[in-house]
Amino acid sequence: MKTFTTTYTSPLGPIVIESDGQAITSLRFSNEQACDTSTAQEKAGEEAATALPIIAETIQWLDNYFAGKRPCNVPRLNPQGTAFQKRVWQALLTIPYGKTLSYGEIAQMVECRSAQAVGQAVGANHIALIIPCHRVIAAHGKIGGYEYGIEIKKRLLELEQL
């Protein structure tokens, strides 16, 4: 299966978007510094990727999100994971913009006794922002971990409070 990749420049750093051509398969903050060392062939590949409707729709979604607007139309997603992970990710999609839920609350939603198991599934999410794992917090309101760092999670939650 062919993967189409492009990089979106967000206020919080570069975000790598991947698609199978029909749906988003990955959206993640890049740990690499945003520097342009791409070859001409890589640049042409990114330009081709941004021409795909699903990539263009995702870029529009991200533009709206970072402009402080509540994105409404979620792009088509194709997350890869276990049946349990997919149940947890589906529950994350129900968390309203600007709201948070605890790992325990998500566990209740997916009928799981273990908030820790839910935490592992949340951490395995490869479609950040759109599947809003940043909206899940620890018990008693503590921010908790985030694959891309606590500072980015705090800034995302602050952005949604506008």
Q: Structural domain tally of the chain?
A: 2
Number of Cβ within 10 Å of residue 150's Cβ equals 11
Select from 66, 96, 113 the last residue of a domain: 66
Domain CATH number, residue 121: 1.10.10.10
Q: Which residues belong to the active site?
A: 133
Residues 58 and 89 in one domain: no
Residues 87 and 146 in one domain: yes
pTM: 0.88
Q: Is residue 38 part of a domain?
A: yes
Q: Is residue 73 part of a domain?
A: no
Select from 36, 66, 96 the last residue of a domain: 66
CA–CA distance, 15 with 66 (Å, rounded to integer):
12
What pLDDT shows up at residue 72? 82
Q: Is residue 99 part of a domain?
A: yes
- Convert the pLDDT of each residue in 22-61 to its tens digit: 999 999 999 754 444 444 445 545 666 778 999 999 999 9
Cα dihedral value 137, 142, 99, 53, nearest 10: -50
Q: Is residue 74 part of a domain?
A: no
Identify the domain containing residue 92 by its residue range. 83-159
